[in-house]
Chains A and B, each alone.
Chain A
């Protein structure tokens, strides 16, 4: 291919991304470093403010717990799916993919119906006589966590089924014929072999969870803000442009750090 054609094919995309992604990012990030004392003054202030620190901790805490729960729920389920016949497998995969392609507002709203004051859980418990008055489940850190797990569990399952499909049936059969029971086979053969998939799935869930907006917005309320809802509030309600810029860079760096971690892990697992 001639160089001129090569550049002609790539130039429009490079131009669009440069002008409408990279330049706007510079526009919002540059003012955050404009300060007389030190360019990092605003960042130092951000990381020493207890209010912001609480939000950072909450964001990371929810992402970590959601990742771990998705692993615990996802690993056995994916193993179950990967051992089904072709037809059963494609049906179960469709059931797993469906929530992933359903709008996140719908998925969060489902949990409003389930966890609300007059919701499914509360009316069930009241009717059973287990509680006297409705529990506060919605607009808590718990509801954000449940919504986040619900949001990303399908992603974990799909990633894991992909990696467990690569485990040859012969290997598990060999383990069983050598006397390992199903549980031992799962723990000693399947689990180690699907470790790369678990890591990739975990990184996908974690990086998705620290940036998700819809779920914390609908299920968290004002008391349970995360970084994503904080940036919107700073910019839209308070017109605090530099504050929003600081949060933007923090979120970008967190995402890049997680992606870098994933690449390093993938490289290490490839080599071993």
Chain B
């Protein structure tokens, strides 16, 4: 009896994993079809759609923009977020709780609203260049990840180590660089990767903030899908999934994949 119920649970879980994996596997397979529109199962086998993607100027320039944007937005968020998380973790002021929620406040505003607000204020109001608007928008998207992840690893840190460094003659900056930073390093790496992937994948904020000729890859892909149904979309999807796999591998090596769950 027990074994049969166990079988039922296993079958149920297998069905759910099939539901999760099958759509992405189907996309991956369609990237290799020879026909000019997507069909499944595929006829023939070709790499030509990957070639088409690499030859496409709009895909390549938006890929470049997405990568540059994700790196800049993440570095900006780390430059602003790590000192803030340190100040909040090192002190026990009553206002820290309020300040922490202030730094996390962009999680309570839907991405599409952030995009619209910045569009109205920066692009229409201040006539700011497209890239500056995108950078600020993506900074708002990723700063909560830095505060959360770096904050969590500072909670694990024993600040008496920093005190020892200072009593041994380090000044504040030296003590931070030599005693604190190495101990929260893996937290910073994890924050970097989480922030990077969330900026790289973001659509809602970018929707309003991309301009003519300047578009992020997901945004370009989205407008391309509206008019075309050819396997180059599948080929890009495979490339994006490959980037995801690399990042997951990186996180697994530094902090363990479980940290993404928290």
- B91 cross-chain contacts in A, Cβ below 8 A: 1, 6
- A12 cross-chain contacts in B, Cβ below 8 A: 80, 83-84
Nearest CB in chain B: distance from A238 CB, A: 13
Q: How far is the CA of A12 from the CA of B84 in the complex (A)?
A: 9
| Per-position 1/0 for B223-252, Cβ under 8 A of A | 001000100011001001100110110001
Q: How far is the CA of A156 from the CA of B72 in the complex (A)?
A: 31
Size category, B interface: 35 or more
Q: How far is the CA of A107 from the CA of B218 in the complex (A)?
A: 11
Knowing A13-B81, A17-B140, the reply to whether A102 touches B241 (Cβ < 8 A) is: yes
Q: How far is the CA of A244 from the CA of B207 in the complex (A)?
A: 14
Chain B CB within 10 Å, residue with most, of A10, A92, A228: A10
Q: How far is the CA of A103 from the CA of B241 in the complex (A)?
A: 8
Let me know if A120 and B20 touch, CB within 8 A: no
Nearest CB in chain A: distance from B50 CB, A: 15
Any chain A CB within 8 A of the CB of B49?
no
Nearest CB in chain A: distance from B52 CB, A: 16
- A95 cross-chain contacts in B, Cβ below 8 A: 17, 20-21
Let me know if B203 and A214 touch, CB within 8 A: yes
| Per-position 1/0 for B101-124, Cβ under 8 A of A | 011011011111110111111100
| Interface class of chain B by DSSP | helix
Partner pick for B19 among A16, A150, A235, CB 8 A cutoff = A150
Knowing A10-B99, A213-B111, the reply to whether A114 touches B23 (Cβ < 8 A) is: yes
Q: How far is the CA of A16 from the CA of B225 in the complex (A)?
A: 35
Any chain B CB within 8 A of the CB of A266?
no
- A167 cross-chain contacts in B, Cβ below 8 A: none
Any chain B CB within 8 A of the CB of A203?
no
Nearest CB in chain B: distance from A94 CB, A: 6
Let me know if B116 and A28 touch, CB within 8 A: yes
Any chain B CB within 8 A of the CB of A90?
yes
- B245 cross-chain contacts in A, Cβ below 8 A: 98
Contacting chain B: which of A40-48, A50-58, A60-68, A73-81? A73-81
Any chain B CB within 8 A of the CB of A34?
no
Nearest CB in chain B: distance from A180 CB, A: 11
Partner pick for A211 among B27, B110, B116, B241, CB 8 A cutoff = B110
Within 8 A of B (CB), among A1-55: 1, 5-6, 9-10, 12-14, 16-17, 20-25, 27-28
Let me know if A113 and B23 touch, CB within 8 A: yes
B194, closest chain A residue (CB): A101
Within 8 A of A (CB), among B5-37: 5-6, 9-10, 12-13, 16-17, 19-21, 23-24, 26-27, 30
Any chain B CB within 8 A of the CB of A154?
yes
Additional A-B contact list (12), CB under 8 Å, known A17-B105, A99-B24: A1-B87, A1-B90, A10-B87, A76-B9, A101-B244, A111-B23, A112-B229, A113-B26, A118-B39, A211-B204, A213-B207, A231-B116
> Which B residues lie at the A interface, using CB under 8 A?
1-2, 5-6, 9-10, 12-13, 16-17, 19-21, 23-24, 26-27, 30, 38-40, 80-81, 83-84, 86-88, 90-91, 93, 99, 102-103, 105-106, 108-114, 116-122, 125, 136, 139-140, 143, 172, 197, 200-201, 203-204, 207-208, 218, 221-222, 225, 229, 233-234, 237, 240-241, 244-245, 247-248, 252, 257-258, 260-262
Could you show 8 A-B contacts with beta carbons less than 8 Å apart? A9-B87, A21-B109, A94-B257, A104-B203, A105-B221, A150-B20, A153-B16, A231-B113
> Which A residues lie at the B interface, using CB under 8 A?
1, 5-6, 9-10, 12-14, 16-17, 20-25, 27-28, 73-74, 76-77, 79-81, 90, 92-107, 109-114, 116, 118-120, 123, 150, 153-154, 158-159, 161-162, 181-183, 211, 213-214, 217-218, 228, 231-232, 235-236, 241, 244, 248, 251-252, 255-256, 259
